[in-house]
A and B are shown apart, each in its own frame.
Chain A
Amino acid sequence: MAAVEGGAPAPGVSGPADGPNGAGSLLALAGLGKRFGGLEALADVALEVPPRQVTAIIGPNGAGKTTLFNLVTGDLKPTAGTVHFKGVDVTGWEAHRICALGMARTFQSPRLFENLNVIENVIAARFVRTRSSLVESLLGVGRSRAEHARSVAMAEELLRSVEIWHHRGHMPKELPYGDRRRLEIARALATEPELILMDEPTAGMIPSEAAELMALIRTLVDDGRTVLLIEHNMNVVMAISDSIMVLNFGRKIAEGPPAQVQQDAKVLEAYLGVEA
Chain B
Amino acid sequence: MEQFFQQVVNGVMVGSSYAIVALGFGLTFSVMHVLNLAHPETAMVGAFAAFVVATLFTTNLLVVIPLAVLAALLAGLLIERLAIRPTRGRHILTSFIATGGLSIVMQNGAQRIFGVDPVRVAVQVEGVQTVGGVIASNMQLMTFGLAVAMMVGARYYVRNTRWGRATRAVSEKHEVAQALGVDINRVSQLTVGLSTAMAGAAGVSLALLHSQATPFMGAIFGTKSFVCMLVAGNRHIEGIMFVGILLGVLEALVAGYISASLRDMVAFGILVLVLYLRPAGIFGSYEHD
Contact = CB atoms under 8 A, between A and B. Distances in A.
B178 A191 contact: no
A123 B165 contact: yes
A99 B179 contact: yes
B176 A113 contact: yes
A125 B177 CA distance: 8
B166 A95 contact: no
Contacts of A126: 162
B8 to A, nearest CB: 32
Interface in B135-176: 153, 156-157, 160-163, 165-166, 168-169, 171-173, 175-176
B179 to A, nearest CB: 5
B180 A111 contact: no
B30 to A, nearest CB: 10
Contacts of A175: none
B176 A130 contact: no
B104 interface: no
Contact of A128 (B153, B157, B180): B180
B162 A107 contact: no
B180 A125 contact: yes
B264 interface: no
A48 to B, nearest CB: 23
B153 A138 contact: yes
Interface in B179-198: 179-184, 190
Contact of B165 (A100, A105, A124, A144): A124
Given A116-B165, A132-B162, A127 B157 contact: no
A263 interface: no
Nearest to A151: B162
A100 B179 CA distance: 9
A120 B169 CA distance: 10
A113 B168 CA distance: 8
Contact of B179 (A104, A137, A138): A104
A96 B169 contact: no
A111 to B, nearest CB: 5
B257 interface: no
A138 B166 CA distance: 14
Contacts of A137: 160-163
A113 B172 contact: yes
Contacts of B184: 96
A187 B181 contact: no
Contacts of A130: 162
Interface residues of A, number: 36
A116 B168 contact: yes
A188 B176 CA distance: 10
Contacts of B289: 111
Given A95-B178, A191-B180, A113 B169 contact: yes
A127 B166 contact: yes
A208 interface: no
A96 B182 contact: yes
Given A115-B286, A124-B168, A138-B156, A75 B179 contact: yes
A96 B176 contact: no
A127 B168 CA distance: 12
Nearest to A121: B169
Nearest to B193: A134
B152 to A, nearest CB: 11
A127 B181 contact: yes
Given A134-B163, A138-B153, A128 B173 contact: no
A27 to B, nearest CB: 16
26 contacts: A94-B183, A95-B175, A95-B178, A96-B182, A96-B183, A99-B179, A99-B180, A104-B179, A104-B180, A105-B179, A107-B176, A113-B177, A115-B168, A120-B165, A124-B168, A127-B162, A127-B180, A128-B180, A128-B181, A128-B182, A132-B162, A134-B190, A137-B163, A138-B157, A187-B180, A191-B181
Interface of A: 73-75, 94-96, 99-100, 104-105, 107, 111, 113-116, 120, 123-130, 132, 134, 137-138, 144, 147-148, 151, 187-188, 191
Interface of B: 153, 156-157, 160-163, 165-166, 168-169, 171-173, 175-184, 190, 286-287, 289
